[in-house]
C-alpha cells in the first residue's frame, strides 16, 4: 500500500509538471516582450528631454521594427531546422543587452538606436521560436486533454501580458521615481535574470531537428505555406492591424494629448495599460469567439478595428483624455482579436515543418503597423492627423471587406 501510494503520488506530481511545462517558456516570452515594449510610454519622456528630434524618436520605433523583422525571419526557419531551445535560449540575453544600451543611451543616439534594434531582435526570436515552442508544449504529448487552441492562446497572452505590464510600470517609474531613463530597464534586467533559469528546464519539442534535414536554410526561409490562399487573403490583411491599432492607441494619441494632462508620461503608460489590458482580456475568450466558424473570428477582428480607427479620428478632432481611454479600449480589443485570430489561423495553416517560419511571416506583417507613427510624423508636414487616421479607417474598412469575402471562400 505504501509503495502504491508513493507511485500514485509520483504520477500526480509528473502530471502536474507536464501541465506546467509550457509556463517556463511563456515566462521568458513575457519578460522579453516586457523589455521590448517598456520603451513606448518613454516616448513622451524623451520628447520632453529634448535630446532628440521628434522624427528620430518615432524612428526608434522603426529601428525596433527592423530588429523584430530580422529576428522573425531568421529565428523561425532556424528553430524549425535546429530546434526551439537553440534559438530561444539566447533571446532573453539579447534583450538584457538591449535594455542596458538603452538605459545608458538616454542622451546618445547611437546607443539607444542599437539598443532598440537588439530589443526588436529578441522579441522577434521569442515570437517565432517561443510561440512555436509554447504551441508544441501545449499538445497531448505534454498535457493530455489540452485543447488544440491552447497554444495560440498561451502564446498571444504571454506576449500581450509583457507588452502591457512593461510600459505600465515604465511610465509610472519615469513619471514619479528617480533615474527615469534607467530604472525601468534595470528592473527588466533583474526580472529576466531571475526567470531565465526556468527556461533551461523546458524540453525540446522539435525532434526532427536532430535528424538530417533536406534543403538549404534559404529554402526554409521561403516557407511554402505562405502561399496558402487563406493565409494571403485572410491572415495577411489582418496582420498589420495588430500593431497598427495598438500603436495608434499608445504612440499616436498620447502625442496629441500630452499638453492636456498634468502627468503626460504616466498618462501614456495608462493608455498602454488600457489598450493592451483590453487586448489581453479579449484573448482569453479567443477560442470561444473563433469556435468552429471559419468566418466569425476574422470578421469580428476587422470590424472592431474599423470602429477603433473611427474613434481615433473623433478623438484627434475633439481631444479629451477620458474619451481617448474609451477609444483605446476599442483599439486594444482590435489588437487582441487580430493577434489571436491571425496566430490561430497561421498555426492551423502551417505544417509542422513550417510552423515557426510561417509564424515569423505573420508577425512580420503585424509589425508593419509599427511604422505608422513615424510615417504620420513625417507626413504631418503636409497632412493633418484627422485626415491620416481617416485614411487608416478607410483602409481598415477595405481589409474588412476582403476578409469577409475571403474567409467564406477559402
The single-letter DSSP state of residue 293 is -
* pLDDT tens readout for residues 174-189: 999 999 889 999 999 9
- Mean pLDDT within 202-213: 65
- Mean pLDDT within 108-116: 94
Average pLDDT over the chain reads 86
* pLDDT tens readout for residues 296-329: 999 999 999 999 999 999 999 998 899 999 999 9
Would residue 6 count as lying in a domain? no
pLDDT at 133 over 50: yes
* pLDDT tens readout for residues 15-58: 544 557 899 999 999 999 999 989 888 888 888 887 888 888 88
Specify whether the CB–CB gap between 358 and 349 falls below 8 A. Answer: yes
Please state, for a pLDDT cut of 90, what percent of the chain lies above it. 47
User: Would you say the C-alpha torsion 386, 55, 399, 322 has a positive or negative sign?
Assistant: negative
- Mean pLDDT within 76-90: 87
Task: Find the range with the poorest average confidence among 54-68, 204-218, 264-278.
Answer: 204-218
User: All 3 cell numbers of residue 109?
Assistant: 543616439
Taking the alpha carbons at both ends of the chain, their separation in whole angstroms is 58
Task: Find the range with the poorest average confidence among 88-92, 248-252, 274-278.
Answer: 248-252
pTM over the 0.75 mark: yes
The whole-number pLDDT of residue 19 equals 57
Would residue 152 count as lying in a domain? yes
Would residue 35 count as lying in a domain? yes
pLDDT at 209 over 50: no
Residue numbers of the domain that contains 83: 22-201+226-409
User: All 3 cell numbers of residue 238?
Assistant: 489582418
pLDDT at 119 over 90: yes
| Range with the largest mean pLDDT of 139-143, 165-169, 258-262 | 165-169
Specify whether the CB–CB gap between 289 and 337 falls below 8 A. Answer: yes
Would residue 218 count as lying in a domain? no
The whole-number pLDDT of residue 385 equals 93
User: What confidence category does residue 5 fall into, taking pLDDT thresholds of 50, 70 and 90?
Assistant: very low
Would residue 71 count as lying in a domain? yes
- Mean pLDDT within 141-145: 83
User: Which residues, other chains included, contact 125 with Cβ-Cβ below 8 Å and sequence gap of 6+?
Assistant: 32, 71, 75, 87, 88, 90, 91, 94
User: All 3 cell numbers of residue 254?
Assistant: 498620447
Residue predicted with more confidence, 1 or 109 = 109
Which CATH number covers residue 310? 1.20.1250.20
> What whole-number distance in Å separates Cα of residue 290 and Cα of residue 297?
5
How many domains does the chain divide into?
A: 1
The whole-number pLDDT of residue 208 equals 53
* pLDDT tens readout for residues 244-263: 999 899 888 888 888 888 88
Q: 18's torsion region: left (phi>0), alpha (psi -120 to 50) or beta? A: alpha
Long-range contacts of the stretch 306-312 (C-beta < 8 A, 24+): 306/393, 306/396, 306/397, 306/400, 307/334, 308/245, 308/248, 308/249, 308/333, 308/334, 309/245, 309/248, 309/389, 309/392, 309/393, 309/396, 310/393, 312/248, 312/249, 312/252, 312/253, 312/389, 312/392, 312/393
User: What confidence category does residue 82 fall into, taking pLDDT thresholds of 50, 70 and 90?
Assistant: confident
* pLDDT tens readout for residues 358-399: 888 898 899 888 788 778 888 988 999 999 999 999 999 999
Q: In this structure, how many other beta carbons lie within 10 angstroms of the beta carbon of residue 227?
A: 9
Would residue 263 count as lying in a domain? yes
Would residue 215 count as lying in a domain? no
Helix, strand, coil tally for the chain in percent (to 5): 85, 0, 15
User: What confidence category does residue 217 fall into, taking pLDDT thresholds of 50, 70 and 90?
Assistant: low
User: What confidence category does residue 196 fall into, taking pLDDT thresholds of 50, 70 and 90?
Assistant: very high
User: What confidence category does residue 73 fall into, taking pLDDT thresholds of 50, 70 and 90?
Assistant: confident
The whole-number pLDDT of residue 115 equals 96
Residue predicted with more confidence, 78 or 212 = 78
User: Which residues, other chains included, contact 170 with Cβ-Cβ below 8 Å and sequence gap of 6+?
Assistant: 38, 39, 40, 41, 42, 184, 269
> What whole-number distance in Å separates Cα of residue 142 and Cα of residue 139?
6
The whole-number pLDDT of residue 52 equals 86
pLDDT at 213 over 70: no
Would residue 401 count as lying in a domain? yes
> What whole-number distance in Å separates Cα of residue 250 and Cα of residue 333?
13
The whole-number pLDDT of residue 105 equals 87
Amino acid at each position: 500500500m505504501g509503495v502504491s501510494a508513493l507511485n500514485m503520488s509520483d504520477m500526480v506530481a509528473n502530471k502536474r509538471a507536464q501541465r506546467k511545462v509550457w509556463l517556463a517558456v511563456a515566462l521568458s516570452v513575457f519578460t522579453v516582450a516586457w523589455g521590448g515594449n517598456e520603451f513606448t510610454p518613454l516616448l513622451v519622456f524623451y520628447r520632453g528631454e529634448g535630446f532628440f528630434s521628434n522624427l528620430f524618436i518615432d524612428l526608434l520605433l522603426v529601428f525596433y521594427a527592423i530588429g523584430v523583422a530580422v529576428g522573425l525571419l531568421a529565428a523561425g526557419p532556424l528553430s524549425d531546422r535546429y530546434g526551439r531551445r537553440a534559438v530561444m535560449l539566447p533571446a532573453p540575453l539579447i534583450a538584457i543587452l538591449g535594455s542596458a544600451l538603452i538605459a545608458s543611451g538616454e542622451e546618445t543616439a547611437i546607443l539607444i538606436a542599437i539598443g532598440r534594434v537588439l530589443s526588436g531582435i529578441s522579441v522577434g526570436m521569442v515570437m517565432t521560436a517561443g510561440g512555436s515552442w509554447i504551441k508544441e508544449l501545449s499538445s497531448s504529448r505534454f498535457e493530455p486533454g489540452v485543447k488544440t487552441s491552447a497554444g495560440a492562446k498561451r502564446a498571444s497572452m504571454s506576449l500581450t501580458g509583457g507588452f502591457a505590464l512593461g510600459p505600465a510600470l515604465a511610465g509610472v517609474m519615469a513619471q514619479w521615481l528617480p533615474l527615469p531613463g534607467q530604472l525601468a530597464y534595470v528592473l527588466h534586467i533583474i526580472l529576466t535574470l531571475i526567470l531565465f533559469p526556468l527556461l533551461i528546464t523546458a524540453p525540446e519539442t522539435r525532434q526532427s531537428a536532430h535528424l538530417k534535414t533536406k534543403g538549404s536554410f534559404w529554402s526554409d526561409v521561403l516557407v511554402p505555406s505562405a502561399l496558402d490562399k487563406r493565409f494571403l487573403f485572410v491572415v495577411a490583411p489582418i496582420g498589420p492591424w495588430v500593431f497598427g491599432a495598438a500603436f495608434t492607441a499608445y504612440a499616436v494619441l498620447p502625442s496629441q494629448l500630452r499638453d492636456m494632462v498634468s502627468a503626460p508620461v504616466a498618462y501614456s503608460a495608462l493608455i498602454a495599460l488600457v489598450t493592451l489590458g483590453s487586448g489581453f482580456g479579449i484573448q482569453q475568450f479567443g477560442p470561444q469567439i473563433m469556435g468552429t466558424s471559419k468566418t466569425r473570428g476574422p470578421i469580428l477582428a476587422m470590424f472592431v478595428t474599423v470602429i477603433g480607427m473611427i474613434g481615433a479620428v473623433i478623438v484627434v478632432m475633439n481631444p479629451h483624455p477620458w474619451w481617448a481611454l474609451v477609444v483605446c479600449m476599442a483599439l486594444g480589443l482590435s489588437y487582441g482579436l487580430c493577434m489571436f485570430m491571425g496566430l490561430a489561423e497561421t498555426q492551423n495553416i502551417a505544417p509542422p515543418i513550417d510552423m515557426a517560419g510561417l509564424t515569423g511571416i505573420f508577425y512580420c506583417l503585424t509589425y508593419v503597423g509599427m511604422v505608422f507613427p513615424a510615417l504620420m510624423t513625417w507626413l504631418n508636414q503636409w497632412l493633418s492627423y484627422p485626415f491620416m487616421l481617416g485614411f487608416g479607417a478607410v483602409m481598415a474598412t477595405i481589409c474588412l471587406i476582403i476578409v469577409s469575402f475571403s474567409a467564406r471562400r477559402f
